[in-house]
Amino acid sequence: MPLDFTETLQSWRHHLHANPELSRRESATAAFVCAELAKLGVHHVAGIGGHGVVATISRTPSNRSVGLRADMDALPIQETTNLAYASKNSGVMHACGHDGHTASLLGAARLLADDQDWSGTVHFVFQPAEEGFGGAQAMLEDGLLERFPMERIFGYHNWPGLETGAIMLHRGPIMGAAANFSIILRGTAGHAAMPHLTQDPVQGAAHLIIAINSIIARNINPLHPAVISTTTLQAGEANNQIAETVRIGGTFRALTPDVMQQLETRIRELAEHTAKAFGLTATAKISGYLPPTINHAAEADLAAQAAQDAGFAVRRDLGPTMGAEDFGRFLLEIPGAYAWIGNGNSSFLHNPGYNYNDEILPIAAKYYATVAKAALA
């Protein structure tokens, strides 16, 4: 890659890293993307599904089309990297590498704009609100596929621990389905010295948490991957009072919708029956559902072959993860494939010390462009 291209990718990424924005608030990020696309002379439309941006390059005579997608939002995490370009926004950080994803998709737009050896239509989808806020669904509801028709769609995520620049493509599931649960147990508050005059939700919560953690071990086929994590617990204000309510929160994940339904059903049943056993009432809410990201086999094979032909190190041997990604929502509508590109020996995602590896920026940009050309061919 030319030095000026690599330096441009890094300057884009460092700017985005220093100026992160949370889901549904990506106005400055979207404006930056639009400004850089304008400099490249690439037509684009903003405001799709919130702060989403779609850029388009079309060339005759082919009427084939393909989409390339990157996410733009950051996380509510306080950065601890001490980088020269660390976040300027307190408590907000690109701890998942979306700054690199956005920069590399801009790089792909530049590569394809300069490359005359292809025809058809490429749509560059800059998606907002990926981090649990339904950005893919919002773009679809705003007419993404009707306004920007595409036969296939491709994306990637940087992957810490995978060797730098290696490209992993799965046939089938790559990322898990995910949903959040919130359970409120209500009892009767009273003096801690007289528990017989109360209905204690803390005792009920202790038993419920144990019961929820038994779902995987005793209700799910051990050959079907799944996970439940109880992550939040709030109760009481005084050591000498039995509280009236306890709030329990967490997440559950699986690789198939059927197992997700099993998990949801058992969480609701256990909340209801455990509450009844302790004289409590329970309210269980499920939210933030994301479908599993399941690659289409033909598109995964196409992307792997294109990457291999371009000289990249391609792997097909890793298992999926229970980490969730709303790219899977696009794959329910049109064929496509999602890749991992190795970030090397970095901190893992959502860690305050994480940093996207600049070395993979030109690799990711070229991967995008290479796969787009292969799909159009």
168-188 pLDDT, tens digit per residue, is 999 999 999 999 999 999 999
Q: What is the pLDDT of residue 29?
A: 98
Mean pLDDT, the chain, rounded, equals 97
Residue-wise pLDDT tens digits, 326-347? 999 999 999 999 999 999 999 9
Q: Do 58 and 115 contact (CB within 8 A), yes or no?
A: no
The pLDDT confidence band at residue 271, using thresholds 50, 70 and 90, is very high
What tens digit of pLDDT does each residue of 71-88 get? 999 999 999 999 999 999
All domains in the chain, ordered by first residue: 3-161+345-376 (3.40.630.10), 176-289 (3.30.70.360)
Q: What digits encode the pLDDT tens for the residues 27-45?
A: 999 999 999 999 999 999 9
- CA triple 69-73-79, angle to 5 deg: 130
* pLDDT at residue 1 in the model: 59
- pLDDT for 189 beyond 90: yes
Stretch 9-17: mean pLDDT: 98
- The band of 2, judged by pLDDT with boundaries at 50, 70 and 90, is low
Percent pLDDT > 90 in the chain is 99
Long-range contacts of 328-331 (CB under 8 A, 24+ apart): 328/136, 328/175, 328/177, 328/290, 328/291, 328/292, 328/293, 328/294, 329/136, 329/137, 329/140, 329/290, 329/291, 330/67, 330/69, 330/136, 330/140, 330/153, 330/155, 331/153, 331/293, 331/294, 331/295, 331/296
Q: Scan for tokens 């409590």, then name that residue.
A: 280
How high is the pLDDT of residue 343? 98
Dist CA 369 CA 361 (whole Å) = 12
Residue 233 confidence (pLDDT)? 98
